[in-house]
Amino acid sequence: TSTFLSQKPKSELVRTSLRLLTSSAYRLQSECKKTLPVESCPTTDIQLVTQQVIQCAYDIAKAAKQLVTITTKENNN
């Protein structure tokens, strides 16, 4: 783990972004598992799973962008 993530973030914005990043990553993993032959069943709605994967990926990108923006501002101060 990087030093940044192992330290307790001071900023509430950073904590919020990290929570979004972590929860979205877990959701993404869970949704992707549904597409595996072992986990999938005849009732699996692949279109719905695909939409969920896209939403998770979007949330991860959003959280990462927030973290970059916050840390860039903090480093410039």
Binned average pLDDT, 10 residues per bin, the chain of 77 residues: 53 87 92 76 79 94 91 78
Angle subtended at Cα 55 by Cα 66 and Cα 19, rounded to the nearest 5 degrees: 45
Global pTM reads: 0.71
State residue 56's pLDDT score: 94
Structural domain of residue 64, as residue ranges? 41-76
Residue pair 24/59 in contact (Cβ under 8 Å)? The answer is yes
Kindly give, in sequence order, each residue whose CB lies less than 8 Å from that of residue 77, ignoring residues fewer than 6 positions away: none
Q: What's the total number of domains in the chain?
A: 1
Query: Exposed (0-12), middle (13-18) or buried (19+): which is 26, by Cβ within 10 Å?
Result: exposed
| Residue 62, CA distances (Å) to 15, 33, 34, 36 in order | 14, 22, 23, 26
In a domain? residue 14 = no
State residue 1's pLDDT score: 42
In a domain? residue 7 = no
